[in-house]
């Protein structure tokens, strides 16, 4: 032993001081130089312990670079070891480095249940391993990949098995370099934030991005999202919802969105981007189409017991534009309500009564205001049918405001129907007011004021009046009665036949004469202008009376130009048949010739009329025509008498007067001689 100054000083109760004269412990060593050894222990040529004046301690080295610097010597099984109890089974609590693995760091529990250390050959890049129960639990590869439950982690963190993270798990990087991978032995998925800051879930085996969430929160499945939820699938239905064995599919085509129930390939609903919405059809033909067309279908609109189920037809988004037309079902009254132009038009109440313009219909059809028109297209029928039970009434009642409009009450009302007013159901009755029917239609005949018309039209009582310009016609206007200006006219065959002027003048086959009350025309050869026939033994042929004394005038032509050529007159007692003999109508007047030869030549006969009495004195027209034709009207000569010959006996009178004058003169001569 060599002890240099300062000296070792020992005092009672004091320790041993090396390099210090006043040791403060049992062994107190103090060096004067920072890096010089103040304590050095060697085993042979091997360094065991070295302590410098700067406070650094070296184990196996004389140049410690830190507070404690241990260097494993050649052949040592462990560079640094803390040993537990003397029982060898307790094992080591801490071991740092071995000859084989100089970088090993081990923590070992009782019976080797926990081990943590560096695994790797000398000169190689070792792994950091954590074991429990002699089983590896965690490994950090030399490249930095961390494996939990695996000895060969393929990613920065590779977990084989389930796990829980309490708190945040943050991955940094760009693109796929910050991915979190989930995989089994056959398949691998990854999630990461891409270069556009979108959250991505990727199918690594198929090299396809399956889900993307962008920074605005939009979700894309099969695509980068362009909407809040954006789904793209070209291989089949996009969405499937299932409860038990019941399945529901939603799929998008090129221009539509389809809903499919179960395994059927037929859509139960489709949103057609070009047409509209279809329910039960594969394509919509209108904005809303409910199918299929081969089955019964229904559309249900629900509401509360005091609410409305409504269908609106609008041309705007606010105000009454929302419901320019509408159909409401009023659940409180079980009534349908219909409207147009945003106003009420019709109601069908719970009893089936229909009110058009009437909010509270009291009959099966109740019209309030306006007109009712029933029309039909060509080839079809327009019908208004009113039925009633056997023995009842089938009527249409037209009531005034405040009148009784219920069936059976006709006060202040118009009524048309069968069985009304107690009449038989085979008669259509029209009436106004209670118990006052006026028109009856029965078996094709019309009765006005009579319930049993015997003719097509029978008027029981009262008058008929037509307004100006109205016509009664048969078949067409060729046969009609109408007012023509100031006259009443009857046409037959399209020509006027009877015209009655407003002053009473009558024209037959022409207009009434200006100076005649009755004027008849014969415009066909062989016809009489007038023919008066009495076919009764107690009747009369014609009766003529006149306050002026003139009963009739006769003219030479139909135009009645000039003076009458004859007349029939009366003087209150006698009738005169007058032939015109006015001197103003004559010229070249001389005395007539002697008529004795003519009188002597006239053959006066008696005979029997073939259809009349015996005639004691008379003439035959054909005989007289050879003697005195002036008194004969020549007729036809056929076997059948059409125009009989006639004799005007009055024309024989002047000749007879002349002969009487001649006889008187001869008698006077004889008497004077």
pLDDT at 486: 84
What DSSP string describes 575-589? EEEEE---GGG--S-
Higher pLDDT: 408 or 499? It is: 499
Contact 10, 16 (CB under 8 A): yes
Q: Is the pLDDT of residue 396 over 90?
A: no
- Each residue of 572-607: pLDDT tens digit? 888 888 888 888 888 998 888 888 889 999 999 999
At 79 the three-state DSSP class reads coil
Q: In percent, how much of the chain has pLDDT > 90?
A: 16
pLDDT band at 214 (very low <50, low <70, confident <90, very high): very high
**For residues 382, 387, 393 and 395, what is the CA-based torsion angle, rounded to 10 degrees?**
-20
Q: Which two tokens stand for residue 93?
A: 């609590």
Q: Which two tokens stand for residue 183?
A: 């995989």
Q: What does the alpha-carbon distance between residue 237 and residue 219 come to, in Å, rounded to a whole number? A: 18
Q: What is the mean pLDDT of residues 273-289?
A: 75
* CB under 8 A, 24+ apart: contacts of 297-305: 301/329, 303/329, 303/331, 304/331, 305/331, 305/332
Q: Which two tokens stand for residue 437?
A: 């029917």
Q: Is the pLDDT of residue 659 over 80?
A: yes
pLDDT at 434: 60
Q: What is the mean pLDDT of residues 31-36?
A: 69
Residue 476 neighbours by CB distance under 10 Å: 8
Q: What is the CA radius of gyration of the chain?
A: 72
At 18 the three-state DSSP class reads strand
pLDDT at 88: 47
Higher pLDDT: 630 or 386? It is: 630
Q: Is the pLDDT of residue 330 over 90?
A: yes
Which segments within 265-334 are labelled E, that is strand? 267-272, 277-279, 288-290, 308-313, 325-330
Q: Is the pLDDT of residue 32 over 60?
A: yes
pLDDT at 172: 72
Q: What does the alpha-carbon distance between residue 218 and residue 222 come to, in Å, rounded to a whole number? A: 13
Residue 544 DSSP class: -
At 287 the three-state DSSP class reads coil
Residue 447 neighbours by CB distance under 10 Å: 22
pLDDT at 388: 72
| Mean pLDDT (the chain, rounded) | 79
pLDDT at 346: 93
Q: Is the pLDDT of residue 4 over 60?
A: no
- Each residue of 536-568: pLDDT tens digit? 777 787 888 888 888 888 888 777 777 888 888
Among 579, 555, 557, 559, which Cα is nearest to 568's?
Answer: 579
- Each residue of 479-529: pLDDT tens digit? 888 888 888 888 888 888 888 888 888 888 888 877 778 888 877 777 777
pLDDT band at 353 (very low <50, low <70, confident <90, very high): very high
Element (H, E) at 666: helix 652-672
- Each residue of 227-270: pLDDT tens digit? 998 888 777 666 777 776 666 666 655 456 666 666 665 666 77
- Each residue of 426-483: pLDDT tens digit? 888 888 766 667 888 888 899 888 888 888 888 888 788 777 777 888 877 888 888 8
Half-sphere exposure of 206 (CA within 13 A, CB side): 8
Q: What is the mean pLDDT of residues 335-355?
A: 94
Higher pLDDT: 156 or 84? It is: 156
Q: What does the alpha-carbon distance between residue 289 and residue 158 come to, in Å, rounded to a whole number? A: 55
In DSSP terms, 83 is beta-bridged to 92
pLDDT at 593: 86
pLDDT at 175: 63
Q: Which two tokens stand for residue 98?
A: 């071995």
Q: Which two tokens stand for residue 504?
A: 């009473």
Q: Is the pLDDT of residue 408 over 50?
A: no
Which segments within 262-342 are labelled E, that is strand? 267-272, 277-279, 288-290, 308-313, 325-330, 335-340
pLDDT at 332: 95
Which segments within 515-600 are labelled E, that is strand? 518-520, 550-554, 566-570, 575-579
Q: Is the pLDDT of residue 571 over 60?
A: yes
pLDDT at 217: 94
Q: What is the mean pLDDT of residues 17-29?
A: 79
Among 13, 49, 46, 50, which Cα is nearest to 35's?
Answer: 50
pLDDT at 53: 77
Contact 422, 434 (CB under 8 A): no
pLDDT at 403: 46
Helix, strand and coil percent figures for the chain, each rounded to 5: 10, 35, 55
Q: Where are the domains of the chain?
A: 383-451, 471-585, 596-672
Question: What do you get for the CA distance between the two ends of the chain, in Å?
Answer: 254
- Ramachandran region, residue 504 (left: φ > 0; alpha: ψ -120 to 50; beta: rest): left
Q: What is the mean pLDDT of residues 645-662?
A: 90
Q: Is the pLDDT of residue 212 over 90?
A: yes
CA dihedral sign, ordered 126, 127, 129, 134: negative
Phi, psi of 598, rounded to the nearest 5 degrees:
-70, -45
Segment among 116-130, 436-450, 648-662 with least mean pLDDT = 116-130
């Amino acid at each position: 032993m060599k002890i240099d100054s300062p000296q070792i000083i020992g005092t009672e109760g004091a320790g041993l001081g090396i390099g210090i004269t006043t040791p403060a412990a049992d062994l107190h060593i103090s060096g004067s130089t920072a890096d010089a050894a103040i304590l050095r222990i060697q085993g042979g040529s091997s360094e065991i312990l070295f302590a410098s004046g700067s406070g650094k301690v070296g184990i196996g080295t004389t140049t410690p670079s830190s507070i404690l610097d241990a260097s494993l010597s050649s052949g040592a099984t462990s560079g640094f070891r803390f040993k537990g109890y003397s029982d060898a089974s307790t094992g080591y609590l801490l071991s740092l480095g071995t000859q084989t693995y100089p970088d090993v760091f081990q923590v070992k529990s009782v019976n080797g249940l926990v081990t943590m250390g560096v695994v790797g050959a000398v000169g190689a890049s070792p792994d950091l391993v954590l074991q429990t129960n002699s089983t590896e639990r965690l490994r950090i590869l030399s490249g930095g990949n961390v494996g939990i439950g695996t000895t060969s982690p393929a990613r920065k963190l590779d977990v084989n098995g389930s796990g829980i993270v309490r708190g945040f798990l943050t991955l940094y990087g760009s693109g796929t370099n910050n991915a979190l991978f989930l995989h089994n032995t056959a398949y691998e998925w990854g999630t990461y934030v891409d270069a556009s800051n979108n959250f991505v879930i990727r199918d690594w085996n198929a090299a396809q991005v399956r889900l993307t969430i962008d920074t605005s929160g939009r979700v894309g499945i099969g695509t980068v999202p362009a909407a809040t939820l954006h789904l793209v699938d070209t291989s089949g239905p996009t969405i499937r919802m299932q409860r038990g064995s019941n399945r529901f599919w939603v799929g998008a085509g090129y221009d539509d969105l389809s809903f499919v129930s179960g395994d059927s390939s037929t859509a139960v609903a489709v949103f057609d981007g070009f047409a509209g919405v279809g329910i039960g059809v594969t394509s919509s033909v209108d904005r809303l189409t409910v199918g299929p067309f081969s089955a019964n279908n229904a559309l249900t609109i629900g509401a509360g017991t005091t609410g409305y189920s409504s269908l609106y037809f609008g041309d705007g988004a606010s105000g009454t534009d929302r419901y320019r037309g509408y159909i409401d079902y009023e659940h409180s009254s079980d009534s349908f309500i219909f409207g147009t132009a945003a106003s009420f038009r019709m109601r069908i109440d719970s009893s089936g009564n229909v009110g058009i313009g009437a909010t509270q219909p009291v009959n099966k059809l109740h019209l309030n205001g306006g007109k009712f028109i029933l029309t039909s297209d060509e080839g079809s029928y327009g019908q208004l049918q009113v039925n009633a039970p056997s023995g009842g009434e089938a009527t249409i009642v037209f009531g005034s405001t405040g009148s009784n409009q219920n069936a059976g009450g006709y006060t202040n009302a118009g009524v048309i129907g069968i069985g009304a007013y107690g009449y038989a159901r085979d008669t259509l009755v029209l009436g106004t007011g209670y118990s006052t029917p006026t028109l009856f239609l029965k078996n094709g005949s019309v009765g006005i004021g009579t319930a049993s018309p015997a003719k097509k039209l029978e008027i029981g009582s009262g008058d008929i009046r037509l307004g100006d310009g109205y016509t009664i016609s048969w078949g067409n206007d060729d046969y009609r009665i109408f007012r023509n200006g100031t006259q009443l006219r009857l046409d037959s065959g399209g020509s006027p036949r009877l015209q009655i002027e407003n002053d009473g003048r009558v024209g037959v086959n022409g207009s009434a004469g200006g100076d005649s009350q009755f004027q008849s025309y014969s415009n066909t050869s062989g016809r009489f202008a007038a023919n008066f026939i009495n076919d009764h033994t107690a009747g009369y042929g014609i009766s003529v009376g006149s306050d002026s004394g003139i009963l009739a005038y006769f003219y030479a032509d139909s135009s009645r130009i000039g003076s009458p050529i004859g007349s029939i007159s009366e003087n209150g007692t006698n009738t005169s048949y007058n032939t015109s003999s006015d001197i103003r109508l004559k010229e070249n007047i001389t005395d007539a010739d002697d008529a004795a030869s003519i009188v002597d030549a006239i053959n006066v006969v008696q005979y029997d009329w073939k259809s009349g009495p015996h005639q004691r004195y008379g003439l035959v027209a054909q005989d007289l025509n050879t003697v005195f034709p002036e008194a004969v009207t020549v007729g036809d000569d056929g076997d059948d008498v059409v125009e009989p010959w006639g004799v005007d006996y009055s024309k024989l009178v002047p000749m007879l007067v002349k002969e009487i004058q001649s006889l008187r003169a001869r008698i006077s001569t004889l008497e004077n001689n």
